[in-house]
Amino acid sequence: MSTDRFDVLDGAISPAENMRLFGHQEAEHFLAQSYRSGKGHHAILIEGPEGIGKATLAFRFANHVLTHPDPQQAPAELGDPDPNSIASRQLASGASHNLLHLTRPVDDKTGKVKSAITVDEVRRAGKFFSQTSGTGNWRIVIVDPADDLNRNAANAILKILEEPPKRSLFLVLTHAPGKLLPTIRSRCLPLQLKPLAPDAMRNAMNNLGFDLSGPDGQKVLAAADGSVSEALKLINYGGLDIMTTFETILAGQDPGIRKDMHKLADVLAGKDSETIFAFFLALVTGHMMGEARRAAHSGDLDRADRFARLSSSVTERITVAQAYNLDRKQTVLSILDDLRAASRAVA
């Protein structure tokens, strides 16, 4: 079953091919011990922020299970998979008949990754189980992430979780468990992963060929907040420059700021800018939420309400702009204008 990802970041290793994991030893130990006991849960909800290794952990555990199909004979720890083993080669190439990677599919018309995991993708799981039901092997489904399931797809996956086939294992990934159907969460055993600590981040980035020991590396380390994917966006997608420009625009008062706004909007509206535009939207959302939170803590409820309302307005505006393919540059400029106005009003 194919595990190809069309949205793997530049500089990253796809989870199916990544043989190294950093910073999640306790979670690995728990999964190995749970499996070895023979009493492991059939569905595990792997929770945590984006880019910290959830998918890599899921594929490592899947590799462990498929390599050691008898739990009693399985090692006490996961360990790094052997890249030359049959299981590793099959997982890396998407040729394993015992694993199904459910993720957002590619639109055949546009060639781009769709915005959601559809019910048609989940129906592949039913076919997957029917094709392998007579083999006696473990059958593993990785839902990556469940946050992307649309309503029909979520209900379809729930039905399978309620009546799981024998020797089946579901590894359900989520960046925001609170947004999942409560019934899905109730069918899964939660396993929470935390953002990577600085040492783990350095090791993970070194594994990808990046040295974070210098001044710029320290900036990346601080801004990435324990996420390898955020670090890659900062380094390979101009994220550091965008952060600096964004802060300058919000703080600046001189007429030249307008020029900076247009330059930033041009970058974000350029061709193949989906990744960095999403980075910008997360930056904007984080700023607004941070301002609202700080205002509330200081007792300035008017300021907190202003930024909370602005956050809702910006979210709605972005949704409409994306749904109707509105001019992205104008959307960015209007957001920056509103943020500057809100900042001046509460200064």
Give the total residue count for the chain: 347
pLDDT value of residue 7:
66
Last residue of a domain, one of 162, 192, 222: 192
Q: Would you state the structure tokens that stand for residue 135, as one six-digit string?
A: 């083999």
Query: With 90 as the cut, is the pLDDT of residue 132 above it?
Result: no
The amino acid sitting at 310 is: L
d(CA 336, CA 205): 32
Q: Give how far the C-alpha of residue 160 lies from the chain's centroid of Cα atoms, to the nearest Å.
A: 23
- Which residues fall within 8 angstroms of residue 329, CB to CB, at 6 or more apart? 262, 265, 266, 268, 269
Domain-located, residue 220 = no
The amino acid sitting at 77 is: E
Query: With 90 as the cut, is the pLDDT of residue 207 above it?
Result: yes
- Return the CATH number at 109: 3.40.50.300
Mean pLDDT for the chain?
A: 93
Same domain, 56 and 120: yes
Last residue of a domain, one of 129, 158, 192: 192
**39, 78, 191 from 34: Cα distances, Å:** 6, 11, 12
pLDDT class of 133 with cuts at 50, 70, 90: low
Enclosing domain of residue 39: 25-192
CB atoms within 10 A of CB 121: 22
